[in-house]
Amino acid sequence: MKKRNLILTIISIIVLAIFIFYADSNFDAYQVRILNLCAIYTILGLSMNLINGFTGLFSLGHAGFMAVGAYTTALLTMSLAAKEQNFFMQPLVAPLNSIVWPFLPSLLAGGLMAAFVAYLIGAPALRLKGDYLAIATLGFGEIIRVIFTNTQNITNGALGLKGIPSSTNLWWSFGIAIVTIIVLLSLINSSYGRAFKAIREDEIAAESMGINLFKHKSISFMIGAFFAGVGGGLLGSLLGTIDPLMFRFLLTFNILLIIVLGGMSSVTGTIISAFVITIAQEVLRFLDEPMNFGFAVVQITGLRMVIFSALLMVVVLFYRNGLMGSREFSWDKLIKLFKRNPLVKGGTK
Amino acid sequence: MSLLKADQITMQFGGLTAVNNFNLELNKNEIVALIGPNGAGKTTAFNMITGVYNPTKGKIYFEGKDITGLRPDQITSLGIARTFQNIRLFKELSVLENVLIANHLNVKSNVFEAIFKLPRYMKEEKSMISKSIELLDKVGLGDLKYEKSSSLPYGKQRRLEIARALATNPKILLLDEPAAGMNPKETEDLTSFIKEIKEQFDLTIFMIEHHMQVVMGISNVIYVLDYGITIAQGSPYDIQNNQKVIEAYLGVSENDA
Ligand SMILES: Nc1ncnc2c1ncn2[C@@H]1O[C@H](COP(=O)(O)OP(=O)(O)O)[C@@H](O)[C@H]1O
Ligand SMILES: [Mg+2]
């Protein structure tokens, strides 16, 4: 049984690889870009869901971790010429001004930097509970932005960075998304993952069962931040330019939207939701444009965001569990579903 | 030497002294009960011993070592486990997961070994699962191991909470009103269950209980709290015939009438 599931999983990954191979050469640039965004938002959604959904920490600092990852990756991968062009106000500090790293180690460095920052802010913030943690992490996200706006010789301040090598492609984004899924599933189903869920369910009981709250919250927070940093690095490389304004609270809000709609303790839900929301954000872009109703032309800037915010409110008020709640996809369930349906060949036994 | 000793512990909440100069001595393999009217400070005494509250004053010693002010998880690791007056299971998780979580404190592998399923972790995971299943079988919850814990009937939830505490390998088990909300039949089952696990797991038990039926039957020593003050301590026989205890429970003295 276990073996069959493993084989099915490997087959699906191969099918996905074939799809990427096809999409890579046949889809137009716009479609490829959206697919990349879907995969990157999957990584970001999963990393936030580890912290907020599985460990039950109400953290709103995700954009901050992404910023750390995006800037680290960008500064390590940019060519020396590009660096010189960007930093005309103040030269870039050593040793960043003389090194160019390959993409993968730069992404990992971005993730590690984000995890390190998570460690630093977690030390005070993770001792706070519930709403206070949300406020502290929200503050952190904004502080990071202010710092990045003012460290001219490291981040180029408000001007941002342009000419980041566009290394992100479907192979990188989907490859890393799959690695993220595998790592996080393994973590969530391990003894550590159970400890996280225990903290989510009841902190006092968890602590009384011998779980060191601060240590386990920190582990979850740092691993979540690591993947947020990697996702930020991929995003920066996909877009080619980054600046502090990109990492406003709105970005955290978008990811929060994904995990709430998908289900706060479901990996499957987050993946589905990341794709649906990312595509919907693109499809509904016309809402922000001027619309011709025949009798009048109306333009409501931000209407798209209003729709998503309203959707979030509806889900939180009437459908708390989101799409999947804490349920997960499994091959066993899928096969059972087919077996019950006699119309499917070989379905009855 | 006593296993657990509380020396003049006091807990103040603002102006309220919930527990005042409480002294306790638990010897190995005893069953000791703590009784007293609602609001007497019994749960607060538990919370000080288990590290939930840091006593305002006084010291707590476990096996001769000062444990005052340690965190609850540290105290549990040393060998003091507890249950709660209002059941606190991990509701969304299965019966088995509830018990597995209580095994986590013994896991030596770090988080990377767990993520990458390295041999040491896999060995620990396997032994933790078989140990937990064995424990659930022992306490009669084996058939329910994959049920969501909150779907269990009340009496079974109480039993699971005790099993979960046992999974931490305690030397002392603290039970906060284990028979609360139980009918006489369930109470009787529970009493024999407590005696059983005491023998099987070589435990020392300290419990808060209202049901005199439970307390009088199985405890070696009884402490009585009233408004945070220890008004009596002694054998069940002594306590039953203690005038102060009768007054505290009836609210009036017979001489007043
Ligand atoms: N965290 C707290 N803050 C303030 N007062 C508390 C707290 N915990 C308990 N108390 C008070 O301490 C007294 C003793 O409570 P408790 O120990 O729960 O009593 P018991 O378990 O004997 O019924 C009560 O008056 C209660 O209101
Ligand atoms: Mg109480």
pLDDT digits (tens, 9 = 90+) for A292-318: 777 888 888 788 888 888 888 888 888
Kindly report the CATH number assigned to the domain that includes residue B181.
3.40.50.300
Q: How far apart are the C-alpha atoms of A190 and A212, rounded to whole Å?
A: 16
For range A134-159, the mean pLDDT: 94
Task: Say yes or no to pLDDT of B252 above 60.
Answer: no
Ligand 1 atom index nearest CA of B53: 1
User: What digits encode the pLDDT tens for the residues B152-184?
Assistant: 999 999 999 999 999 999 999 999 999 988 888
Q: Which of B101, B124, B129, B146 to mutate to test the interface with A (most CBs of A within 10 A)?
A: B101
- The token pair at A66 is 């992404």
The alpha carbon of A343 and the centre of ligand 2 are apart by a number of angstroms equal to: 59
Cβ(A229)–Cβ(A115) below 8 Å: yes
Residue A272's pLDDT band, with cuts at 50, 70 and 90, is very high
pLDDT at A349: 39
Q: What are phi and psi of B163, to 5 degrees?
A: -60, -40
The alpha carbon of B227 and the centre of ligand 2 are apart by a number of angstroms equal to: 12
Contact A210 B90 (CB under 8 A): no
The alpha carbon of B119 and the centre of ligand 2 are apart by a number of angstroms equal to: 44
pLDDT at A335: 86
pLDDT at A346: 46
The alpha carbon of B18 and the centre of ligand 1 are apart by a number of angstroms equal to: 6
pLDDT at A236: 97
A:243-282 residues touching chain B, CB 8 A cutoff:
265
B131 within some domain: no
Residue A324's pLDDT band, with cuts at 50, 70 and 90, is confident
B38 within some domain: yes
Nearest to B90 among A187, A205, A212 (CB): A205
The alpha carbon of B146 and the centre of ligand 2 are apart by a number of angstroms equal to: 31
Establish whether this prediction's ipTM goes over 0.85: yes
pLDDT at A339: 78
Q: What is the mean pLDDT of chain B?
A: 93
Ligand lying nearest the CA atom of residue B85: 2
Q: What is the mean pLDDT of chain A?
A: 92
Number of domains comprising chain B: 1
What's the per-residue H, E or C state across chain A?
CHHHHHHHHHHHHHHHHHHHHHHHHHCCHHHHHHHHHHHHHHHHHHHHHHHHHHCCCCCCCHHHHHHHHHHHHHHHHCCHHHHHHHCCCCCCCCCHHHCCCCHHHHHHHHHHHHHHHHHHHHHHHCCCCHHHHHHHHHHHHHHHHHHHHHCHHHHCHHHCECCCCCCCCHHHHHHHHHHHHHHHHHHHCCHHHHHHHHHHHCHHHHHHCCCCHHHHHHHHHHHHHHHHHHHHHHHHHHHCCECHHHHCHHHHHHHHHHHHHHCCCCHHHHHHHHHHHHHHHHHHHHHHCCEECCCCEECCCCHHHHHHHHHHHHHHHHCCCCCCCCCCCCHHHHHHHHHHCCCCCCCCC
B→A interface, C-beta within 8 Å: 50, 52, 71-73, 76-77, 81-82, 84, 88-93, 97, 100-105, 107, 109, 111, 114-117, 121, 124-125, 128, 164-165, 168
Contact B88 A192 (CB under 8 A): no
Q: Which domain holds residue B159?
A: 4-93+152-250
Contact A191 B76 (CB under 8 A): no
Q: How many of the other CB atoms lie within 10 Å of CB of B31? A: 22
Task: Say yes or no to pLDDT of B216 above 50.
Answer: yes
pLDDT at A287: 83
CB-based contact, A207 to chain B, within 8 Å:
yes
pLDDT at B176: 96
Task: Say yes or no to pLDDT of A319 above 50.
Answer: yes
Chain A residue closest in CA terms to B124: A191
Cβ(A93)–Cβ(A153) below 8 Å: yes
- The token pair at A1 is 């049984």
What's the per-residue H, E or C state across chain B?
CCCEEEEEEEEEECCEEEEEEEEEEECCCCEEEEECCCCCCHHHHHHHHCCCCCCCEEEEEECCEECCCCCHHHHHHHCEEECCCCCCCCCCCEHHHHHHHCCHHHCCCCHHHHHCCCHHHHHHHHHHHHHHHHHHHHCCCHHHCCCEHHHCCHHHHHHHHHHHHHCCCCCEEEEECCCCCCCHHHHHHHHHHHHHHHHHCCCEEEEECCCHHHHHHHCCEEEEEECCEEEEEECHHHHHCCHHHHHHHHCCCCCCC
For range B5-21, the mean pLDDT: 95
Nearest to B93 among A191, A201, A223 (CB): A201
The HSE-up count of residue A191 (CA atoms within 13 Å, CB side) is 31
pLDDT at B250: 64
Neighbours of ion ligand 2 (CB under 5 A): B 43, 85
Cβ contacts of A325 on chain B, cutoff 8 Å: none
Task: Say yes or no to pLDDT of A88 above 70.
Answer: yes
Nearest to A194 among B76, B104, B168 (CB): B104
Q: How many of the other CB atoms lie within 10 Å of CB of A106? A: 24
Which residue do the tokens 């099915």 mark?
Answer: A8
User: What digits encode the pLDDT tens for the residues A162-190?
Assistant: 999 999 999 999 999 999 999 999 999 99
Q: How far apart are the C-alpha atoms of A293 and B96, rounded to whole Å?
A: 60
pLDDT at B253: 46
Cβ contacts of B50 on chain A, cutoff 8 Å: 208
The alpha carbon of B207 and the centre of ligand 1 are apart by a number of angstroms equal to: 17
Q: How far apart are the C-alpha atoms of B142 and B136, rounded to whole Å?
A: 5
Burial of A36 by CB count in 10 Å (0-12 exposed, 13-18 middle, 19+ buried)?
buried
In chain A the domains, ranked by start, together with CATH numbers, are 2-338 (1.10.3470)
Ligand lying nearest the CA atom of residue B39: 1
pLDDT at B256: 44
For range B86-104, the mean pLDDT: 97
Q: How far apart are the C-alpha atoms of A192 and A196, rounded to whole Å?
A: 6
Burial of A1 by CB count in 10 Å (0-12 exposed, 13-18 middle, 19+ buried)?
exposed
B143 within some domain: no
Q: How far apart are the C-alpha atoms of A271 and A275, rounded to whole Å?
A: 7
Chain B residue closest in CA terms to A186: B115
Ligand 1 atom index nearest CA of B41: 17
For range A126-133, the mean pLDDT: 88
CB-based contact, A189 to chain B, within 8 Å:
no
Q: Alpha carbon of B2 to those of B19, B27, B174, B219: distances in Å? A: 22, 5, 16, 17
Ligand 1 atom index nearest CA of B40: 22
Q: Which residues are paired to A292 by β-bridges?
A: A297
B210 within some domain: yes
Residue B75's pLDDT band, with cuts at 50, 70 and 90, is very high
CB-based contact, A185 to chain B, within 8 Å:
no
B179 within some domain: yes
Task: Say yes or no to pLDDT of A47 above 90.
Answer: yes
User: What digits encode the pLDDT tens for the residues A208-222?
Assistant: 999 999 999 999 999
Task: Say yes or no to pLDDT of B230 above 90.
Answer: yes
User: What digits encode the pLDDT tens for the residues B116-137?
Assistant: 999 999 999 999 999 999 999 9
Cβ contacts of B109 on chain A, cutoff 8 Å: 191
B77 within some domain: yes
pLDDT at B219: 93
Cβ contacts of A192 on chain B, cutoff 8 Å: 104, 111, 114-115
pTM here?
0.92
> For residues A50 and A336, which has the higher predicted lDDT (pLDDT)?
A50
Residue B251's pLDDT band, with cuts at 50, 70 and 90, is low
